[in-house]
């Protein structure tokens, strides 16, 4: 499939997925919000209705109790008793001990004369015959007035009870404490903008509202009508939309009005709407991002599969080449081993000749002897090289010999000093002086050190430093070798692949990806382990742990390495 084919598939998956995902999400979001709005609105209205009814009941009960107190007082005491101001004062004090709801108490004759009075005002001997409330009391027997100023020039309302005692009629009148009554009404105020007040049929305020004027002022914008029960509705008051709870009192034609700000009451609903919109927006974004991401991932997997197939074919070809190279290396090693064996034999023969007395007396004997020793050493070294060439072609049992790790490292570094000097790279060494000799394979260790040091030089490039540190871990019975460089480091996503065959971070043509893989196998074969720590921009450190073994502790040969 070509690039255009992948793009067409990509957009087809995106549009189809978004269509089947977003439409149900919109429907679900709208349904949830609508149902919540309906339920919450009903709950708010019900709550306001309950609050209004409870407050009406409390006010009616308050007025009933005051009426009952005055009625009981009027019908349990005679006119002569209550017109005695000392007696009336004692009765008033007794009443106030139970509930301080009255401001004063007075006895008014049938002619309107205020014959006895207990209270803070100078009202005795005044005549109320011409006051509007007086004929109402004489007619009805029980009367609760609207708020008025009267002789005291202060807003108040009274409760009066008529007593018919023989041929004498008289009135027991009490003034209600307006502060107590106002507080009783204000208990229905809810929130920062909520209000509660009482008005009469003329829209005159009977209590002091929180925001809408003063007592005895008129609320013309309030629409009144006679109705039963409790009415809860949304309306406009002083240019603002409010919620009204209204109910008429039972004992007096007063309307209790409880006003609430819908902005406060519906703030949880607004919050829920914001939450729904936020979730909906987040869901849409998540679906869009997820759809694009997953579609790209799916299409990317298709592209990746094609690329992996191509890479697999390339790796198979590389493996075939390596197998052929291994066979070639084995052939070369066998061919080189034959002349090396002859050279080794001739060196032994020359050593035997040098033991004869005549040659020992030669002036150049010392030079002959040193030359023979060097030839023998280099033959052994060449044999080790051919041994490693054979190991490239087939796995071999590592040689077990006494190895000084410090010396192997120093010999390996000697191979690379010129290249490091050319690149202005400093190789700093810190060898542990107490490092013991262990049983291992010096040639294979040298190969490992050479691979890691070469990688370090390539990573640093120029003008850097490579540190080689050895340490004797006495308690663990191990030798630790740390090789650090000041290169760019290895990305975290590649660190777990660093020992995989054919994996390399070098440019194409500059690395096979086999060096660290072979090194890992060699160290594992020698009974140790190798690890890497790296952080981008801070360099890389390879740590090699080798067991300290004497010949008696040498592990048995693994049949995998036999030949």
Q: Show the tokens assigned to 40.
A: 């919450």
| Residue 425 falls inside a structural domain | yes
What is the count of structural domains for the chain? Answer: 3
The CATH number for 365's domain is 1.10.287
Instruction: Read off the pLDDT band of 442 (50, 70, 90).
Output: confident
Write down the mean pLDDT value for the chain: 83
Among residues 274, 269, 217, 213, which one has the least CA distance to residue 243?
A: 269
> Whole-prediction pTM value?
0.48
Question: 279 in helix, strand or coil?
Answer: helix
CB contact at 8 A, 432 and 472: yes
- Which residue's structure tokens are 């509007």? 132
Residue 363 and residue 455 share a domain:
no
Instruction: Read off the pLDDT band of 396 (50, 70, 90).
Output: very low
Task: Return the axis-axis angle of helices 365-393 and 267-354, rounded to nearest 10°.
Answer: 140
Report the run of H or E that residue 105 belongs to, with start and end. strand 102-109
The CATH number for 118's domain is 3.30.450.20
The last residue of one of the domains, among 366, 394, 422, is 394
Please measure the distance between the N-terminal and C-terminal CA atoms of the chain and give it in whole angstroms.
Answer: 49
| Residue 424 falls inside a structural domain | yes
| Residue 280 falls inside a structural domain | no
Q: Show the tokens assigned to 488.
A: 């760019």
Q: How far apart are alpha carbons 177 and 102 in whole angstroms?
A: 5
| Residue 277 falls inside a structural domain | no
CA angle 328, 330, 335 (to 5 degrees): 95
The last residue of one of the domains, among 203, 233, 265, is 265
pLDDT at residue 107, as a whole number = 94
The last residue of one of the domains, among 361, 394, 427, is 394
Residue 506 and residue 382 share a domain:
no
Residue 229 and residue 99 share a domain:
yes
Residue 490 and residue 540 share a domain:
yes
pLDDT (tens digit, 9 = 90+) per residue, 251-297?
899 999 998 887 766 677 677 778 878 888 888 888 888 888 888 88
Residue 350, pLDDT above cutoff 90:
no
| Residue 278 falls inside a structural domain | no
Residue 485 and residue 372 share a domain:
no
Q: How far apart are alpha carbons 138 and 129 in whole angstroms?
A: 10
pLDDT at residue 559, as a whole number = 39
Residue 406 and residue 390 share a domain:
no
| Residue 270 falls inside a structural domain | no
Residue 454 and residue 334 share a domain:
no
114 has which bridge partners?
Answer: 108
CB contact at 8 A, 203 and 224: yes
Residue 365 and residue 234 share a domain:
no
Instruction: Read off the pLDDT band of 513 (50, 70, 90).
Output: low
Instruction: Read off the pLDDT band of 181 (50, 70, 90).
Output: very high
541 has which bridge partners?
Answer: 484, 533
Residue 346 and residue 237 share a domain:
no
Residue 198 and residue 332 share a domain:
no
Range of the domain at 181: 1-265
* DSSP-derived pairing of the beta strands 425-430 and 464-473: parallel
Residue 421 and residue 305 share a domain:
no
Judge residue 465's burial from the number of C-beta atoms within 10 Å of its C-beta, 0-12 exposed, 13-18 middle, 19 or more buried: middle
């Amino acid at each position: 499939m070509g690039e255009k084919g992948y793009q067409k598939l990509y957009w087809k998956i995106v549009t189809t997925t978004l269509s089947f995902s977003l439409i149900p999400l919109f429907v679900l979001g709208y349904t949830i919000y609508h149902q919540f709005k309906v339920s919450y609105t009903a709950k708010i209205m019900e709550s306001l209705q309950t609050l209004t009814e409870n407050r009406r009941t409390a006010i009616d009960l308050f007025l009933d109790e005051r009426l009952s107190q005055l009625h009981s007082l009027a019908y349990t005491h005679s006119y002569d008793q209550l017109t005695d101001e000392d007696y009336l004062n004692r009765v008033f004090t007794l009443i106030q001990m139970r509930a301080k709801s009255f401001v004063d108490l007075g006895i008014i004759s049938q002619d309107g004369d205020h014959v006895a009075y207990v209270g803070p005002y100078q009202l005795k001997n005044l005549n109320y015959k011409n006051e509007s409330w007086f004929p109402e009391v004489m007619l009805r027997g029980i009367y609760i007035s609207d708020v008025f100023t009267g002789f005291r020039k202060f807003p108040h309302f009274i409760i009066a009870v008529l007593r018919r005692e023989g041929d004498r009629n008289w009135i027991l009148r009490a003034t209600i404490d307006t502060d107590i009554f106002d507080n009783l009404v204000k208990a229905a105020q809810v929130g920062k903008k909520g209000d509660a007040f009482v008005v009469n049929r003329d829209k005159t305020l009977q209590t002091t509202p929180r925001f809408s004027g003063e007592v005895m002022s008129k609320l013309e914008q309030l629409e009144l009508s006679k109705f039963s029960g409790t009415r809860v509705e949304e309306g406009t008051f002083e240019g603002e939309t409010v919620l009204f709870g209204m109910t008429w009192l039972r004992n007096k034609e007063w309307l209790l009005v409880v006003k609430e700000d819908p902005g406060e009451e519906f703030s949880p609903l607004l919050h829920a709407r914001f939450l729904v919109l936020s979730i909906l927006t987040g869901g849409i974004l998540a679906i869009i991002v997820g759809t694009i991401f997953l579609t790209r991932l799916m299409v990317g997997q298709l592209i990746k599969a094609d690329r992996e197939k191509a890479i697999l074919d390339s790796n198979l070809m590389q493996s075939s080449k390596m197998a052929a190279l291994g066979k070639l290396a084995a052939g070369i090693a066998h061919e080189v081993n034959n002349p090396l064996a002859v050279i080794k034999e001739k060196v032994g023969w020359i050593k035997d000749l040098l033991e004869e007395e005549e040659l020992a007396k030669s002036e150049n004997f010392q030079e002959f002897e040193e030359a023979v020793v060097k030839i023998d050493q280099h033959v052994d070294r060449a044999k080790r090289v051919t041994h490693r060439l054979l190991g490239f072609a087939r796995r071999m049992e590592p040689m077990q010999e006494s190895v000084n790790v410090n010396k192997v490292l120093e010999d390996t570094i000697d191979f690379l000093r010129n290249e490091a000097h050319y690149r202005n790279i400093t190789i700093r060494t810190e060898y542990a002086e107490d490092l013991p000799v262990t049983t291992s394979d010096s040639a294979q260790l040298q190969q490992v050190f050479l691979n890691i040091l070469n990688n370090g030089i390539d990573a640093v490039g120029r003008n850097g430093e490579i540190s080689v540190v050895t340490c004797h871990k006495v308690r663990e019975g191990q030798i630790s070798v740390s090789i650090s460089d000041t290169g760019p480091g290895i990305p975290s996503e590649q660190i777990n692949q660093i020992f995989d065959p054919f994996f390399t971070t070098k440019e194409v043509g500059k690395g096979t990806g086999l060096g660290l893989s072979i090194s890992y196998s060699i160290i594992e074969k020698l009974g140790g382990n190798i690890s890497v720590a790296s952080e981008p921009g801070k360099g890389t450190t390879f740590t090699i742990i080798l067991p300290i073994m004497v010949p008696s502790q040498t592990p048995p040969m693994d049949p995998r390495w036999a030949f």
